[in-house]
Structure 1
Amino acid sequence: MNFAIVGCGFIAKKHANAIKEVKNAKLVAVSDKISAAMNFYEREYNANPYTDLSEMLEKEDIDVVCICTPSGHHASLAVHVAEAEKHIILEKPIAMTLEETDRIIEAAEKNKVKLSVVHPNRYRPVVQEVRKILDKNLLGKISHVNATVNWNRNQDYYDQAPWRGTKQYDGGVLMNQAIHNLDLLLWFMGKPEQIFSMEATRLRNIEAEDVSTGLIKFRSGALGTVESATTVYQKNFEESITIFGEKGTVKIGGTNALHFEHVEIEGVPEAELEEIKEKIEEDPWGTPGHQWIVEDMVNAINEDRLPAVTGKDGRKAVELVLSFYESAKQNRPIQLTKEKEYANN
């Protein structure tokens, strides 16, 4: 499979390395409006550079395009790539609005291309173990959950590029940093029914929020709290998800939610749980999530199936973030509408 990358900023290097590590995948071209940004990919991967996306799509034999631009540009680029009938791996968030998100998904369906959104934390070893626990219903009825992202992004981080921290192209802590944690929360707990949120811009000189707190009521009846911030002094402090059930409690945590900080399950011997924890500690990151996503796309194309993380999954995370924003703006609870259905993606 021949891959191309659009947008040669920081995250593009993760995509390039993932493509390199996947059998039967090759990076053949890159596109960026700034020529110098593509030099690394020319040198390291022998990728052909293009400052014009249309030219690249026309001249190169490409199967999959990885879109790694600022979030506010995702919709126009993804629709363009879909109309060129190329499969798409799209960095998070899928888009900045639900209207843009739906345009992307509908363009992928219309042109019969596969669409995958980059939520790589699903592939971390500890996250996979939590999913197994929930799939087996080992915790029983869930009472409530906590999701936390308390990180540091100092002013220098936001000043690196003019789009960072803007509502149009980037979003705040919820849309940019916490969205991976929110994706996991939705993957574990299912559809939210009602949310309430408060947010503020306390310490960073940006347009969007740098701290947010929220409450969720899930369709199951379980309750959830969400705490997110980029204001923590002086470095990343915590990313965690805690699930409280009638038959057990599970907490994954650390600075990047890589470890079991607590796991206690009725009927499961402590020695068995310790063995699982120790196995995770041997390699907590596991195979990089971007590599899993690239490999899954190759397999999805060969097997003619949906990717593991679809456009619809990406939409769920964005819908939750936007509902938090709307609740904070109106200072009232928000009832989530019936989930939009798609034939594919």
Structure 2
Amino acid sequence: MMNYNSLQLRIGIIGLGNAGSALLPSIAKHENVIVTAASGRNKERLEKFAHDYNADYHLSVEDLCRSEQVDAVYIASPTELHVEHVQIATHFKKHIIVEKPLAVSVEEADLLIHAAERAGIHLIVGHSFSFEPPIRKMREMIEEETLGKVRMINNWYFNDWMYRPRTPEELDTLLGGGVTYRQGSHQFDIIRYIGGGMLRSVRAMTGRWDELRPTEGAHAAFLEFEDGTAATAVYNGYDHFLTTELTFGIGEGGPSIKPKGYAASRKAIQKLKNSDEERTLKSQKGYGGNQSKNYFEEKHHQPFFGLTVVSCERGDIRQSPNGLFVYGEDEKYEIQLPNVTGRDVMIAELYDAVVLGKPPVHDGRWGKANLEVCQAVLESARERKEIYLSHQVAADPSLRRVSK
């Protein structure tokens, strides 16, 4: 068990793909958090990780969660395995960060929330982009009414998501695949966090425009908050127009994107012979793979999850490479923000919850509320009608006791 007197939190990582690897620098930055173990399917990758970090490795999630060298786990396994892996972690009373989306249905989300409550552990959902400094600063400015009351929030993202290497499960909506579950969960998280959390309804359409990639590759959603604030979430992952043209050439993690040629991702995928080749290519992007990123050396601007523009009564706000541009009534000015990543703040939120007892923003109920929006977008598109929401919670944890 954790020695709370030492103030050190020991994390085990479940899944050493892109997400699991990307968290390692943020763990290293926190003076009181260390990584002590990992589990996964690739033994060679696990052995390299164990050597690099002087850590343990396990071939099963159960063995990792049983370890007395682990206080909390980061579940970066595929979405369809989240329910199983969260339940194992709660059984062994390990605190949890689980990648988004929390599950594939609100019923599954409830199951996991209640399991965490019974175990007396913290469950945080890793919607890392609302942890980013520009998004948190937008929320702060809205709370302070720097430009008056917020009236409209827009996030538009055009990219190549559908043609990055994918497993078959990532292209199966029933297993939580497609852009609405996998990427909409980020969009709705950003919009809900900026606007205070309490959405009222959703009207949306989705698009499946490539029969060889049989899941949602695009959506357009109109979201209305309880207070009347309007929002739009537009996503197109079909690798034509890219919003990096509008975001200073800066992408999700904050690096400058080097042009690879028009539709390079789509053309590369079309050259593969079958899904096995694609699965192999995706695996090479995980820890120690020959196409893996070096997240420790990557240089960052502020990260851009597409184009986010917030309109208030007396001005607009959008991101700049180093913070925010504010378009006020009399002048345009820039706010410089600290160069930290959302994952840094996510690790701090887990630590503060476990060690300092500070209620997390991104708890299980917050993750459930984002999942409800994902499902509502799919339902609205299918039924061609407005869907009213019933599981939304406030961005301020202290207000959740009165949230519906």
Same fold flag (TM > 0.5): yes
TM bucket (normalised to shorter chain) is 0.7 to 0.9
Q: Summarize the Cα distance change of 1:116–1:166 in structure 2 as closer, same or farther, 3 Å threshold.
A: same
Task: Give the secondary-structure state (helix, strand or coil) at the position aligned to 1:60.
Answer: coil
Unaligned runs of 5+ in 2: 1-8, 247-305, 394-399
Tell me the equivalent position of 1:246. 313
**Distance in 2 of aligned mates of 1:21 and 1:227:** 34
Alignment of 1:49-128 (within 5 A): 49-128=57-136
Does residue 274 of the first structure (1) align with residue 281 of the second (2)?
A: no
C-alpha deviations, 1:211-243, integer Å up to 9, x for none? 111112211112222211101326553612222
**Distance in 2 of aligned mates of 1:206 and 1:146:** 27
**CA-CA distance at 1:111 after TM superposition:** 0.6
**Distance in 2 of aligned mates of 1:183 and 1:48:** 34
Does residue 221 of the first structure (1) align with residue 228 of the second (2)?
A: yes
- Aligned partner (choices 207, 217, 229) of residue 210 of structure 1: 217
Task: Give the secondary-structure state (helix, strand or coil) at the position aligned to 1:274.
Answer: strand
TM-score, structure 2 length as denominator?
Answer: 0.75
Q: Report which stretch shifted further, 149-158 or 26-35.
A: 149-158
**CA-CA distance at 1:31 after TM superposition:** 1.0
**CA-CA distance at 1:204 after TM superposition:** 6.6
Paired residues of 2:187 and 2:233 also in contact (CA < 8 A): no
C-alpha deviations, 1:237-274, integer Å up to 9, x for none? 361222222222223378xxx753x52234xx63xx62
Q: Summarize the Cα distance change of 1:201–1:338 in structure 2 as closer, same or farther, 3 Å threshold.
A: closer
**CA-CA distance at 1:173 after TM superposition:** 1.3
Q: Summarize the Cα distance change of 1:288–1:324 in structure 2 as closer, same or farther, 3 Å threshold.
A: same
TM-score, structure 1 length as denominator?
Answer: 0.87
Q: Summarize the Cα distance change of 1:155–1:339 in structure 2 as closer, same or farther, 3 Å threshold.
A: closer
Aligned-pair identity (%)? 22
What root-mean-square deviation, in Å, do the aligned CA atoms of Structure 1 and Structure 2 show?
Answer: 2.3
- Aligned partner (choices 326, 350, 355) of residue 263 of structure 1: 326
Paired residues of 1:85 and 1:112 also in contact (CA < 8 A): yes
Q: Report which stretch shifted further, 228-237 or 305-314.
A: 228-237
Q: Summarize the Cα distance change of 1:316–1:154 in structure 2 as closer, same or farther, 3 Å threshold.
A: closer
**Distance in 2 of aligned mates of 1:178 and 1:188:** 15
Task: Give the secondary-structure state (helix, strand or coil) at the position aligned to 1:163.
Answer: helix
Q: Report which stretch shifted further, 142-151 or 71-80.
A: 142-151
**CA-CA distance at 1:77 after TM superposition:** 0.6
Paired residues of 2:82 and 2:103 also in contact (CA < 8 A): yes
Q: Summarize the Cα distance change of 1:235–1:241 in structure 2 as closer, same or farther, 3 Å threshold.
A: closer
Tell me the equivalent position of 2:377. 324
**Distance in 2 of aligned mates of 1:251 and 1:275:** 10
Paired residues of 2:366 and 2:392 also in contact (CA < 8 A): no
Q: Report which stretch shifted further, 225-234 or 104-113.
A: 225-234
**CA-CA distance at 1:40 after TM superposition:** 2.9
Unaligned runs of 5+ in 1: none
Regions of 4+ moved over 3 Å: 234-238, 338-343
